Amino acid sequence: MAITFLFCLFLGRFFYIQVIWREQLQYLALDQWTREIPVNAGRGNIVDRNGEVLAGNSPAYTVYARANAVKEKEGAALVLSEALSMPYEEALSRLADRSRSEITLAKRVQKSVAERIEGAGISGVYYARDEGRLYPHGALACQILGFTSYDGAGTTGIEGKYEAYLAGTPGEILQETDLVGVELEGSAAAYRPAIDGLNVRLTLDYRIQALAEDVMGRALSSSSAKAARAVVLDPTDFSVLAMVNLPSYDLNDIPREDISALNALTRNSVVSDIYEPGSTFKIVTAAANIEEGLRGNPSAIPLEHIYSSSRTRLVDGTTIRCWSDHKNGKHSNQTLADALNNSCNPCFVDIALALGKETFYSYLDAFRFGRATGIDFAGEAIGMLLPSSIVQDCDLARIGFGQTIAVTPLQLACAAASAVNGGLYYAPRLVRELYSEDGAVHEEIPAKLLGRTVSEEASRILSTMLEGVVRDGSGKKAFIEGFHVAGKTGTAQKYENGVIAQGKYVSSFVGYFPASSPKYLALVILDEPQGSYYGSTVAAPCAKEIFEGIIEIEGLRPVEETI
């Protein structure tokens, strides 16, 4: 019985070694008798919607050594120190280091340097491809593209978000060696090729991106503003055509040593930072009122209603005033269209209070305030929206004209786009597809409809009014003859430590064209401009320049000529 048990025990052990443990033992044996030279995969490019390379690669190489296989260390150290601009003593010390089977001597060296080392015929020294990242347009879209680490891995922006696709799969060259790592004479090397990473095609158009950055850069300088931001969307599906954050930095010269500057300059504020939108938010309030009126809600204020001429509203003991000095009869006989033209705060206080908290908050939710837009980019903020359970009438009144609520620029741009495109809300996107070098599409990222905000009819009525704002009202400096630009200005006071910061404003304008069938929408923001600070005088002209540039780039004709 004991003999039978021992026999079964040995048989089981034999089976375990020969069958179950077989692959691991083979790997250990192979690892003991071979040395691997890594073959790095080529990193995928990042291109704009038309194929323009925004992030590519420059040829570079990594130099390796196996101390056990280097025969004449002094001579080898001399060659390597000269070729790699490395101190001789350091090179010799590293070649004498037998604690590791393989030593990395230098990364991202030029091909001429690698060929010089190869030509010296040093035993035990090798090189392999290791491309460096190159950004042909320097600072263009730097916060969107992001950058890679010293090791070539994506860390921020699209580089980080799509690292798994861009990186590829490394290969290796296997060389037979003896137990101490010296190559066996006459042995053949086995080669496992690397699989290059996929290319990422963005929705960005580098021409529109460059245009928007140029316009906002000049505005930043002329207004001595703290920062300038802009986003250009295609309202038909929320593809991001441009996204601007200034000041910026050159992706080929990243300030890695200054962490504070690096964090500030690399932050995509359009997605990650929040602000009080001010009067641009009146688009949402107007849209909600128009829609409720079409639905027959008696609480909605009729479009032909004449608002009170009073320049103030008293809510919960708090006096809410309009921005204007109210001269020239600006508060006389105002309809909703007039209120948008004049950007009259009390009119939108009336709307918010008339609709009531429950109804108004249902629209805030539909427009996705207080939650993410769903953009394919890391670090999106959700904004700040008071819970409906604690909102008082005075809060609701201020939300109606863009105070007591904080949004990201992207949230506001998407809300405006939905309000005027027929009421459809899409997830904004920066990436269109992933494809290999041969052009084969690995994955297509389609537009994603998230819901409806208002009806087509409400959207059409609102757009007609917003065209009037540019034609006759506060947005006149965005007017372009024949292209039916529509939009809304905004000038919001900034708060610091819970109180109004005197003399500090955020000036903005959100506009689009053509009004009847929007194809391009731009939100422009200048943070703390000096001198003139009204959105109508500072931001609206920037949007006009961007739209005029797009018209030239795309070769668009005035609407009247196409009829």
| DSSP state string for 454-486 | S-HHHHHHHHHHHHHHHHHSTTGGG--TTS--E
Contact (CB, 8 A) for 95 and 77 = yes
* pLDDT for residue 174: 62
* pLDDT for residue 30: 46
Q: Compute the distance between CA of residue 503 and CA of residue 33 in angstroms, rounded to an integer.
A: 74
Phi, psi for 126 (deg, rounded to 5): -135, 170
* pLDDT for residue 326: 44
* pLDDT for residue 187: 54
Cα→Cα distances 143→160, 242, 265, 270, 423, Å = 11, 12, 8, 10, 30
* pLDDT for residue 77: 76
* pLDDT for residue 33: 45
- Domains for the chain: give ranges and CATH numbers: 43-57+135-168 (3.90.1310.10), 60-130 (3.30.70.2110), 206-250+267-562 (3.40.710.10)
Q: Compute the distance between CA of residue 118 and CA of residue 112 in angstroms, rounded to an integer.
A: 10
DSSP for 116-132 reads HHHHTT-TTEEEEE-PE
Cross-strand pairs, 171? 39
* pLDDT for residue 179: 47
| CA 378 to centroid of chain Cα atoms | 8
* pLDDT for residue 64: 78
Contacts of 387 (CB under 8 A, 6+ apart): none
Taking the CB of residue 273, how many other CB atoms lie within 10 A of it? 18
Determine how β-strand 499-513 pairs with β-strand 449-452.
unpaired
Q: In what order do the strands lie in the sheet with 46-47?
A: 132-134, 53-58, 46-47, 199-202, 431-435, 441-444
* pLDDT for residue 125: 78
* pLDDT for residue 213: 98
71 by DSSP, 3-state: which? coil
Q: Compute the distance between CA of residue 492 and CA of residue 507 in angstroms, rounded to an integer.
A: 7
Is 309 among the catalytic positions? no
* pLDDT for residue 25: 46
Say which of 223, 269, 279, 343 is annotated catalytic: 279
Contacts of 221 (CB under 8 A, 6+ apart): none
**Nearest one of 131, 152, 126 to 37, comparing CA atoms:** 126
**Nearest one of 496, 467, 479 to 548, comparing CA atoms:** 479
Q: Compute the distance between CA of residue 183 and CA of residue 180 in angstroms, rounded to an integer.
A: 9
Q: Which residues of the chain have pLDDT under 50?
A: 25-33, 179-180, 184, 326-328, 561-563
Cα→Cα distances 320→323, 340, 395, 396, Å = 10, 17, 11, 12
**Nearest one of 453, 365, 402, 397 to 462, comparing CA atoms:** 453
Q: Compute the distance between CA of residue 39 and CA of residue 130 in angstroms, rounded to an integer.
A: 8
